[in-house]
Amino acid sequence: MNKQPTEVKCPNCSTAINVEDIISNQVAERMRAELKTKEEQLRKQYDGRESELLERESELKKEKLGLDIAVKERLEDEREG
């Protein structure tokens, strides 16, 4: 199988242009852009989920504190009476 030449000459200045390199660079740039967009989407999802978890953790700590106080009061009531 013969490999086709990947260079073309500019009709104006006769500069050799490697078409394979140009196409490779375009594909690479497109892939970088797509990966960057995907990374940003995943980061936003992660940040949102992290915020939800931190908020839930805070709520649970408040609930635990309330339960601890209720248990302590109940134990004191039982000891007194």
Q: Please, how many CA atoms are within 13 Å of residue 56, restricted to the half-sphere of its CB?
A: 6
* Distance in angstroms (rounded) separating the CA atoms of residues 8 and 4: 11
pLDDT at site 72? 95
Query: Whole-prediction pTM value?
Result: 0.56
Tens digit of each residue's pLDDT (9 = 90 or more) over 25-63: 999 999 999 999 999 999 999 999 999 999 999 999 999
H helix intervals, 1-81: 19-80
